[in-house]
Amino acid sequence: MALKKYLGSCRCKKVRFEVWIDLTQGTFKCNCTSCVKARFWGASALPENFKYLEGESEVSVYSTRIDGMFCKHCGVGIGGGGDIPEAGGKFIAINLGALDNLDPKEWASVPVSYLDGLHDRWDREPEFISHL
């Protein structure tokens, strides 16, 4: 496992963070309402591998099964967190679009899996994935 440090932020830069992720282990797209509407493309990180550098108090949390983290000012979603035992337990899901130093070539080559969060069936792909 090759963890790499990524720096991230919202659009207005009031929220800044760092996270250690191994993108070769895969990324995901989910078909739940929140992920589809936000066009979320994420990567999972352990909670201990995520740290706010600035602006934690500027983050608003939208709670469903997963707590979405958004900048109060520009509205950009930086990720979310939760505890879904059937999906591996506690996690932070990082919005790849919020990573400032993710090279587009690296992003284009990462493996992607698809989650059926809409139906809470985390162990299988949704029936349709081409729109994700």
CATH number of 4-115: 2.170.150.70
Q: What is the pLDDT of residues 11-22, one digit of tens each?
A: 999 999 999 999
Question: What does the domain layout of the chain look like in residue ranges?
Answer: 4-115
For the beta carbon of residue 130, count every other beta carbon within 10 angstroms. 5
Given this model, what pLDDT does residue 113 score? 94
Given this model, what pLDDT does residue 128 score? 87
Who's near 28: CB < 8 A, 6+ residues apart?
Answer: 41, 42, 43, 44, 93, 112, 113, 114, 115
Distances (CA, A) of 8 to 12, 65, 67: 12, 24, 18
Given this model, what pLDDT does residue 87 score? 67
Query: Quick one: CA dihedral 29, 56, 20, 46, positive or negative?
Result: negative
- What tens-digit pLDDT sequence spans the chain (132 residues)? 699 999 999 999 999 999 999 999 999 999 988 889 889 999 999 999 999 999 999 999 988 777 889 999 999 999 998 887 776 788 899 999 999 999 999 999 999 999 998 998 878 899 888 888
Q: Is 81 helix (H, G, I), strand (E, B) or coil?
A: strand
